[in-house]
Amino acid sequence: MESAELEKLVAQIGEEILARVNPALAPVRGEGLNIPDLVCPGCVQRCVQTCAGKAREIVAAGADRISASERLTRADPAIASLIDHTILKPEATSGEVRKICAEARKYRFASVCVNPYWVPLVAAELAGTDVKVCTVVGFPLGASSTEAKVAETNAACRVGATEIDMVINVGALRSGDHDAVKMDIHAVAEAAHRGGAILKVIIETALLDDNQKAIACTLAKLAGADFVKTSTGFSRHGATVHDVELMRRVVGPGMGVKASGGVRTLADLKAMAAAGATRIGASASVKIVEAAAGQADDGH
């Protein structure tokens, strides 16, 4: 049997079986995919390769595996673009960091945030993409010298970092030494901007009262930072809606606010964004964007 004849026979058998199992899924000849009367209202996807609804129908008919393009799992760009995909645990391996980078490329997260040692690897993995390379400075305590923080910033920018998340000197702030805190931030901001990076200032809200949080945000703004950020994720607790709302009120609309620490679900992210956060630090990023895609598929 000629190859063309064999392919035709296989196609006919497949169509006949599909029609018997579920007539609604039987192919309609003549127009291919996206036939108007088979397209869900408002849908612009190609069925069934990329439509989650059609995929569920196929599974219900008896399939236990579906071959599909990467577009089957879609990420809402409005959600993904808020997220710094983060891996800051000290025991992280090169394989885990590469996995985070692959996920960031796939879902188009805002950045990948890692400890300074991994910046060259992340910069190489993300080359040619829009995903930013983010690292931390003075992390997680903030109690290192300004000179050390500046040196960390310079080194990170040289090897590819485009975003710097620094921890303020929390003890100095709590001691009332506001000039020292401001100068610390200013020195790092200058180094970051000179290196082509933006600066996010972690104020570690879990260790401050509301007055101290407001002072920290004001000092960060005066010192030339681009963002204020709630938490390292290594202290007593992470971001809260209350803290994000307070920080947004203090810095106004022209400065970024990053909620970080404990943001594990889509509901968490939406609550932080509603409170005024323009960036989210999370390690559960994939779970969040897939939940958002699931809600979109269900029409929510």
d(CA 128, CA 123): 10
Which one, of 167, 163, 132, 161, lies nearest residue 149 by Cα?
167
Q: Of these residues, 149, 213, 258, 268, which one is catalytic? A: 258
Which pair of tokens denotes residue 228? Answer: 């204020």
Contact in structure between 245 and 273 (CB atoms under 8 Å): no
Which pair of tokens denotes residue 31? Answer: 């127009």
- Look up tokens 């269900």; give the residue: 298
Q: Of these residues, 165, 184, 226, 268, which one is catalytic? A: 165
d(CA 151, CA 166): 12
Annotated catalytic residue 270? no
d(CA 23, CA 27): 9
Q: Of these residues, 54, 229, 243, 268, which one is catalytic? A: 229
Distances in whole angstroms, Cα of residue 241 to Cα of each of 150, 196, 228, 251, 263: 31, 31, 14, 16, 11
d(CA 261, CA 238): 4
DSSP state of 157: H
Annotated catalytic residue 258? yes
Contact in structure between 163 and 130 (CB atoms under 8 Å): no
| Phi-psi sector, 69: left (phi>0), alpha (psi -120 to 50), beta | beta
Active site residues: 165, 229, 258
